[in-house]
């Protein structure tokens, strides 16, 4: 079953929400990468809990937009183990203009479907979503 997105004509496949709930509640996955295909948001890749931030970055295409969620573990200054769920809008400079427009216009609506996002990052280049930036936004 697919729900239509009235705002941009974009639909979100049910799997997207189900897998996100599993990431959030059960920590079944480290990350989920989503793509827009035939007017709907679908899952592109799922990262196992053992995968790293580097593994995640490696699966973002250099020339195509993607949405992603990443479950980031970190330690606070008080030495507490915590985690935050990041929503990342990946829109590389060299991707097609039309693609960037479609992803930009559908982002907020899609993000609202994923209840539990704590931090949002937008990146057009890998340096804008480096591990240091992610860590900085966590604290």
pLDDT at 21: 97
**Residue 98, pLDDT above cutoff 50:** yes
Question: Could you tell me the end-to-end alpha-carbon distance of the chain, in angstroms, rounded to an integer?
Answer: 38
* Bridge partner residues of 90 (DSSP): 66, 123
List of domains in the chain: 11-115+122-137 (3.40.20.10)
pLDDT score for 6: 43
Report pTM. 0.91
What confidence tens digit (pLDDT) does each residue in 5-50 have? 444 568 999 999 999 999 999 999 999 999 999 999 999 999 999 9
Q: Looking at the predicted structure, is the pLDDT value of residue 53 above 80?
A: yes
Q: How far apart are CA 49 and CA 71, in angstroms?
A: 9
More confident residue, 3 or 133: 133
Spatial distance between the Cα atoms of 88 and 75, rounded to a whole number of angstroms:
21
Model confidence over 105-137: pLDDT tens digits? 999 999 999 999 999 999 999 999 999 999 999
């Amino acid at each position: 079953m697919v729900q239509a997105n009235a705002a941009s004509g974009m639909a979100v496949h049910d799997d997207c929400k189900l897998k996100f709930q599993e990431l959030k509640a059960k920590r079944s996955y480290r990350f989920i990468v989503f793509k827009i295909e035939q007017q709907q948001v679908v899952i592109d890749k799922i990262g196992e809990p053992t995968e790293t931030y580097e593994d995640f970055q490696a699966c973002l295409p250099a020339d195509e937009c993607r949405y992603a969620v990443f479950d980031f573990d970190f330690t606070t200054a008080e030495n507490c183990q915590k985690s935050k769920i990041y929503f990342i809008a990946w829109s590389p400079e060299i991707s097609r203009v039309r693609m960037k427009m479609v992803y930009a216009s559908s982002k907020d609506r899609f993000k609202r479907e994923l209840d539990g996002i704590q931090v949002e990052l937008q990146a057009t280049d890998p340096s804008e979503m480096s591990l240091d930036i992610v860590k900085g936004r966590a604290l």
